[in-house]
Amino acid sequence: MEAILISAGAVALAEIGDKTQLLALTLTARFRRPVPIILGILLATLVNHLLAALIGSHGAAFIDRIGGAQVLRWIVGLSFLAMAAWTLIPDTLDDDIAGKDKAPRFGVFLTTLISFFLVEMGDKTQIATVALAARVHDVLGVAAGTTVGMMLANVPVVLLAGFAAQRLPLRTIRIVAAVLFAVLGIAALIGYP
């Protein structure tokens, strides 16, 4: 349960103002069909974050098996500190990613699913998922938690059609998320469980 709560909190905060949240806002404004957009976000996030959690957990287990517990601790700790710094940088969304000028060839659900899956590749929440899974070795807990965090951040944007994204103090939220990632990084570096 701890893995789910920590993962959900870290990702929900990190996701505020992120490019995938901007994508949710853009898709909502363009298609005005919240249910298929939310379902597309959910499925894309589940698949993406499950794969990321598997990579994090199995990668950590491999490094641990070859005697690299100290190396793993440093990799995870420094990854969280890098996430803290990255979280402070606001994201933008390219027009071509948003698909502003293109008709939805695959319908709203598949357009959202494909867009979210691709935009999430290498995104800070995906990298956070890898690092969290490497730290706690709970693939399902981390994937579930990070997915809940993504949904907590994106569903209100979809349902409120941009009202929430414009009203939230993004700078404050980014700072809180950065502090959370920094605390996790320092805890990993000093060997705190």
Ranges of residues in the chain with a pLDDT under 70 are: 63-69, 71-73, 76, 83, 86-87, 90-105, 161-170, 173-174, 177, 192-193
Report pLDDT for 167: 64
Burial class (CB in 10 A: 0-12, 13-18, 19+), 125: buried
pLDDT at 94: 46
CA distance 165 to 83: 21
Q: What is the CA radius of gyration of the chain?
A: 17
Q: What pLDDT, on the 0 to 100 scale, is given for residue 190?
A: 83
Distance of alpha carbon 190 from alpha carbon 170, whole angstroms: 30
DSSP-derived letter for residue 68 is -
Chain-centroid distance, C-alpha 70 = 26
Q: Cα–Cα distance between 180 and 188 in angstroms, integer?
A: 12
pTM comes to 0.68
Give the 3-state secondary structure of residue 41. helix
pLDDT score of 43: 97
pLDDT of res. 67: 64
User: Tell me, what's the pLDDT at 39?
Assistant: 97
Residue matched to tokens 């691709």: 118
